[in-house]
Amino acid sequence: MVYISPKEPNRNGFKIMFCVECGKDEPIFRNGVCLNCYLKHTQFSKGPTIMDITFCPRCSSYKHKNTWAQEPFDDILKQHIKDAFTISYELKNVAIQTQCNEQDRILQCMVTISGFLEGQQITEQHPLTVRIRRSTCDVCSREAGGYYEAIIQIRAEKRTFPKDELKILRSTVESLVGQLQKSGKRGLFITDFDETRKGLDFFLSEKATAFSIAKKIQEQFGGEFKQSAATAGMKDSKQMYRMTYLVRIPAYRKGDFFSFDNSFFMIVSLHENKVRAIELSSLVETVIDGKDIQPSKIFGGMELVREMIVVSQSKKEIQLMNPRTYSTVEIQKPKMVSIDTSMVNTVKLDGYLFLVPG
76 binds Zn ion (CB under 5 A): no
20 conformational bin, left if phi > 0, alpha if psi -120 to 50, beta if neither: alpha
Min. distance of Cβ 291 from Zn ion in angstroms? 46
Q: How far is the CB of 32 from Zn ion (least distance, A)?
A: 9
Stretch that binds Zn ion, among 16-24, 118-126, 152-160, 276-284 (CB under 5 A): 16-24
Is residue 137 near Zn ion by the rule CB under 5 A?
Answer: yes
In the complex with Zn ion, which residue's Cβ is closer, 3 or 193? 3
In 3D, which of 97, 93, 135, 138 has the Cα closest to residue 115?
93
> Residue 70 CB, nearest distance to Zn ion (Å)?
9
User: Which lies closer to Zn ion via its Cβ, residue 122 or residue 275?
Assistant: 122
- Least distance from C-beta 176 to Zn ion, angstroms? 21
User: Using CB under 5 A as the criterion, what x/- string covers residues 18-47 for binding Zn ion?
Assistant: -x-xx-----------x--x----------
**Selected range binding Zn ion among 122-130, 140-148, 227-235, 331-339, rule: CB under 5 A:** 140-148
Nearer to Zn ion among residue 37 and residue 154 (C-beta): 37
State yes or no: residue 58 binds Zn ion (CB under 5 A): yes
Q: What would the 3-class secondary structure string for the chain be?
A: CCEEEEEEECCCCCEEEECCCCCCCCCEEECCEEHHHHHHHCCCEECCCEEEEEEECCCCEEEECCEEECCCHHHHHHHHHHHHCEECCCCEEEEEEEEEEEECCEEEEEEEEEEEECCEEEEEEEEEEEEEEECCCHHHHHHHCCCCCEEEEEEECCCCCCHHHHHHHHHHHHHHHHHHHHCCCCCCCEEEEEEECCEEEEEECCHHHHHHHHHHHHHHHCCEEEEEEEEEEEECCEEEEEEEEEEEECCCCCCCEEEECCEEEEEEEEECCEEEEEECCCCEEEEEEHHHHCCCEEEECHHHCEEEEEEEECCCEEEEECCCCCCEEEEECCCCCCCCCCEEEEEEECCEEEECCC
User: Binders of Zn ion: how many residues, by CB under 5 A?
Assistant: 10
Piece of 130-138, 279-287, 311-319, 327-335 that binds Zn ion (CB under 5 A): 130-138
Does 140 engage in binding with Zn ion (CB under 5 A)?
yes
Region binding Zn ion by CB under 5 A among candidate stretches 117-125, 135-143, 183-191, 340-348: 135-143
Q: Which is nearer to Zn ion, 134 or 167 (CB)?
A: 134
Only segment of 42-50, 96-104, 134-142, 228-236 that touches Zn ion (CB under 5 A): 134-142
- Residue 301's Cβ-side half-sphere holds a number of Cα atoms within 13 Å equal to 11
Minimum distance of Zn ion from residue 15's CB (angstroms): 17
Q: Measured from the CB atom, is 81 or 137 closer to Zn ion?
A: 137
Pick the closest to residue 347 from 256, 235, 250, 219 (CA basis): 256
Scanning 47-55, 137-145, 213-221, 272-280 for contacts with Zn ion by CB under 5 A, the matching segment is 137-145
* Among the listed residues 81, 56, 83, the one whose alpha carbon sits nearest the alpha carbon of residue 70: 56
Q: Is 56 in the site for Zn ion (CB under 5 A)?
A: yes
Q: Closest distance between Zn ion and the C-beta of residue 119, in Å?
A: 17
Minimum CB separation of residue 136 from Zn ion in Å reads: 6
Q: Nearer Cβ to Zn ion, position 142 or 254?
A: 142
Site for Zn ion in 251-310 (CB under 5 A): none
Q: Do residues 258 and 297 touch, judged by C-beta distance below 8 A?
A: yes
Rounded least distance, CB 251 to Zn ion, Å: 43
Nearer to Zn ion, 94 or 117 (CB): 117
Q: What residue ranges bind Zn ion (CB under 5 A)? A: 19, 21-22, 34, 37, 56, 58-59, 137, 140
